[in-house]
Structure 1
């Protein structure tokens, strides 16, 4: 049985509903709130592409939700589920997400309605390049206008095609590399982008479990070590989330994939599960684990932290009451429906919302965009200077103490930061700072809203102030 959502609310309606709940706690009038909520620009296109001997008409979208800051920012997904409402909802989430983590972008999102598995790499390249040319025609792409990124069904390969197409159509644009993020390193990508969303999920949850008052209410100790974790989805986000939790000393007790789930109270070794998956084609029948043919059952097993990192609406009104986790971290977009959210809140479960928790991807995309505009690799200017300064400090310490630092200690201290170190450090600081802002708002609500409401209030306040300072509301 597949995970099903039996509610009538669409993903877009859920986003709007969350906005309205938060807006009631802000000081802005209805007109300002209506502007923040509205999708500013919607591009719906159909274009022909020759696939083999046949011509196919491809349906595609790009939505720019907010122009309070430019460029707009958001991924492009390849999926048969793509429609205008879904893209609008995801673009709106991007606006709020960027505001929460203090990334100066408006929200955008794109999608092409195809099943990418049915096309060769050659045909996917033709579709992607034609889509990019359509965006260029309509002025829906550019380093200062709208900057796409990978999403479901796309990756660095597709981003390199977009960059090449944009560059060929804009030969005089010296900032062309910044027209898209998530590129290969050789094309101006940034180290650390691949694991960014999963690492951001880890940093966000790690910060959440560091507050003694909050953990006491849940009956948990502070810290990640020893926490029992279930992760739904072993794609890029789920895998890296599970990896960082396991490395930090958490116990990975459950893993869920589309064709089933496994559970072991004593813990699962992620690398061993991945090896088993490659050998057998799935995670079921992993030695020592209990199998669940229905992946939905995996969500309902006992754990401290449940991390849905794959599909939308996997926790809904029909299964929310059976969730045993004390904390749910939304690594995916919209994995909890509005009705389920209220049920979880009434049960005292702490939900870290997607609009904050999976913002690691756009945060590191921002770093890549800045790198492309400056055309300087992070660490290139200061790494050697730092190495030399650390060496001088060690020499001074050895001279004053008369003791020699060991070779291992010397090597550790002398190592200056590489690009990936700086990217991870920037992401960590961003996720910690954003969570503290959200938590402060949540505390100020005095029980009148959850962390999701607090996150949306945080976003609306920042966007509303930006609009006021632009002076567009005389």
Structure 2
């Protein structure tokens, strides 16, 4: 593999292979995506002009079931990035024992520059071009960076129009009225919260004595920040793409979320009703937030935020990856040498795909669960797999990331080897 991101992602696989014995056929199969699709999407803009956007969809591996993965709208989207994300999704689904393979999709654009009408035309045009590549038993898209339930609803509706039948199970993360699941919008953060709550007691860390910094105050980051705040953790810093705020005595996260929803900006505020007043705080960049002296660092933005260049300056003893791939393999080695515990994305942020699986199941059977039932099922699955990976880490004396890949790799190998290996065809 020559692609930079995918090559970097593959190094995690190579490290896990040092701790587990699987057939060479399975190793070879997992080195490459099964299928990649690149499309050009023409969109008639509101001013009458025509723009063409590049879109991608990658199905990495379907040994354990139909592939599953989000669709992101972002200027940095490339085929390399989408392939890497599909790779991570493959291992994430296996690590959580979800009967899906890994996939991912994306369109290269800045969605903030498009009107809602233009976004709808773009979303429907994307589905027009990939309709034969996806399906409830083939590949199921979901929300990701800068996509939301409304966009998923447009995609499901367009697919249903093409197939001439209502097909809610083709997409997850939809509006509730179109077959979405309760708890899906907060699932990534909720799953991360359950993981943190499972692991921190093992280090004798109590919430009220634990400081937290969250990079990325979007769909996942803002929710995990509030969940931790309400559980008693001291959230001292948060940031979005424009920068962040830091207050050593702690931030009022519900107020900051309220302020951002009304202004689209981040400011250290305390709100009472609709009135928000500024509190003392420091303004800092995303890069500065990563290097704060806090107990828990939560990268919840984009990939490659902690690299070989800045890893030595990271001071938080615990890092929970809510974003996909926020730490490079070069940084991993530095952080490990510093004694920093990294809890990997394929475990920590797996709540999203887990509840997407729940939504798919509900769509297929036509029976819908309560929020309490969804969250309880999510808690049970996240807690169980976190404990299993924790045990593997200690039995093999390896990092939690490597343990998670070992855990996933065993399940993937079993599925691939069940279809036959060289040993079955040679005497």
TM-score range relative to shorter protein = over 0.9
Name 1:382's counterpart in structure 2.
Answer: none
Name 1:470's counterpart in structure 2.
Answer: 419
Tell me, yes or no, if structure 1 residue 87 matches structure 2 residue 79: no
Distance 2:207 2:383 in 1: 15
CA contact (8 A) 1:11 1:334 kept: no
Name 2:31's counterpart in structure 1.
Answer: 37
Q: Which has the larger radius of gyration?
A: 1
CA contact (8 A) 1:192 1:424 kept: yes
Among residues 12, 15, 22, which one is paired with 1:28 in the alignment?
A: 22
Tell me, yes or no, if structure 1 residue 145 matches structure 2 residue 94: no
CA contact (8 A) 1:198 1:238 kept: yes
Distance 1:317 1:125 in 2: 40
Distance 1:81 1:258 in 2: 13
SS in structure 1 at match of 2:44: strand
CA contact (8 A) 2:3 2:80 kept: no
Distance 1:426 1:185 in 2: 19
SS in structure 1 at match of 2:288: helix
Among residues 89, 105, 126, which one is paired with 2:121 in the alignment?
A: 126
Tell me the TM-score normalized by structure 1: 0.83
How far apart are 1:48 and its partner, in Å? Answer: 2.6
Among residues 55, 58, 67, which one is paired with 1:63 in the alignment?
A: 58
Name 2:394's counterpart in structure 1.
Answer: 443
Distance 1:285 1:466 in 2: 50
Among residues 87, 98, 103, which one is paired with 1:103 in the alignment?
A: 98
Deviations 1:356-390 (A, max 9, x none): 10000000000000000000112xxxxxxxxxxxx
- Count of residues paired in the alignment: 413
How far apart are 1:431 and its partner, in Å? Answer: 0.8
Tell me, yes or no, if structure 1 residue 195 matches structure 2 residue 190: no
Name 2:156's counterpart in structure 1.
Answer: 163
Q: Residues 68 and 278 (structure 1 numbering): CA distance in 2 closer, same or farther, change over 3 Å?
A: closer
CA contact (8 A) 1:70 1:146 kept: no
Distance 2:418 2:351 in 1: 27
Distance 1:458 1:266 in 2: 39
Q: Which runs of 5+ in 1 are unaligned?
A: 1-7, 216-220, 379-418
Aligned CA-pair RMSD: 1.9
Name 2:385's counterpart in structure 1.
Answer: 434
SS in structure 2 at match of 1:191: coil
How far apart are 1:235 and its partner, in Å? Answer: 0.6
SS in structure 2 at match of 1:443: helix
Name 1:408's counterpart in structure 2.
Answer: none
Tell me, yes or no, if structure 1 residue 454 matches structure 2 residue 419: no
Higher mean displacement: 279-288 or 22-31: 279-288
Tell me the TM-score normalized by structure 2: 0.92
> Which structure 2 residues correspond to residues 378-417 of structure 1 after superposition, within 5 A?
378=369
Deviations 1:190-228 (A, max 9, x none): 0001110011111111111122xxx1xxxxx24434321
Name 2:290's counterpart in structure 1.
Answer: 299
CA contact (8 A) 2:23 2:421 kept: no
SS in structure 2 at match of 1:231: strand
Tell me, yes or no, if structure 1 residue 259 matches structure 2 residue 242: yes
Distance 2:44 2:262 in 1: 37
How far apart are 1:461 and its partner, in Å? Answer: 0.7
